[in-house]
Structure 1
Amino acid sequence: MDRLPTVEEFVAVTSAVGWTDAYDPAAIPASLAASLHGVVAVEGNRVIGIGRLVGDGAIYYYLQDLAVRPERQRRGVGAAILGRLEEWIAARASPRTFVGLFAAGESVGLYRRFGYAVHDDMTGMFRVGPYRPPHGGPGH
């Protein structure tokens, strides 16, 4: 269903996939609130998967936190979540929309099936906190 997960649902699913140290718990509510869109997969009354989009809502979109409980993986849940997110983007995309993501492990295959690729002329980079301005950088 098209909606953001609650904080409790987010924590339950991301913990189930082992992302327990990936987030500052105090930052989760603000992070979810700043999302562009979300999708939650529900089985019975239990959330089994989540996915969301972040970005500027015009040119740049990033697929974020697509996670499916381990016992429900490899059954099409992740593909269904990704498909719904892709439909949402497609309804708003410009001809030059950029959609990015970070993929790890076996999830690479899922994203490749949806047309995502690693480009030789681009390098994905990231920095994880605690965030402090770099010493000796601009303005120092």
Structure 2
Amino acid sequence: MATLNYSIHERIPSVSEHKFIWESVGWGSINTEVSKGSLKNSLYGVVVTINDEPVGMGRIVGDDFMYFYIQDVAILPSFQGLGIGKEILEYLLTYIKRRRLDSGIAFVGLFASEGNDAFYEKYGFKNHSPHMTGMFRVFEN
């Protein structure tokens, strides 16, 4: 098997990269005016490219001090299972480890796509129910 030659860029995805990957992984369509503001307020991001074309992304939102939320970790379906997601997550977690105070604590949250729980569990993420319940609410038109 040939070696996969990809590049990792420590930057927030562009609106067009985000839209392309978001829609390619089946998360539906996205309003780019909304995503533009969301991306602008991200703390950190990673984009993976092959031949200058985006194939994966991940980013962090939060207060950049105590609370961090891993968001939009996605790899194009044809490149899944090749270790790209692992690389993205390692970059994101390294950023968080650098940002938190040595004497402090960092709360890191995420929502895993269906069937991806085991991937994140390898990195210490776990379901804390029934003592804690992850909840969210969506406001839409």
- 1:25 corresponds to which residue? 32
Aligned: 1:9 with 2:17: yes
SS at match of 2:120: helix
Please list every run of at least 4 consecutive aligned residues from structure 1 whose deviation after the TM superposition is greater than 4 angstroms.
Answer: none
Aligned: 1:128 with 2:138: yes
- 1:91 corresponds to which residue? 98
Aligned: 1:108 with 2:111: no
Post-superposition offset of 1:69:
0.3
State how far apart, in whole Å, the 2-side matches of 1:48 and 1:25 are.
19
TM-score using structure 2 length: 0.87
RMSD value, Cα: 1.2
State how far apart, in whole Å, the 2-side matches of 1:28 and 1:130 are.
14
Post-superposition offset of 1:130:
2.0
State how far apart, in whole Å, the 1-side matches of 2:134 and 2:55 are.
29
Post-superposition offset of 1:25:
2.7
Which runs of 5 or more residues in structure 1 are unaligned?
132-140
Percent of aligned positions that are identical: 38
Name the count of aligned residue pairs: 130
TM-score using structure 1 length: 0.88
State how far apart, in whole Å, the 2-side matches of 1:126 and 1:71 are.
30
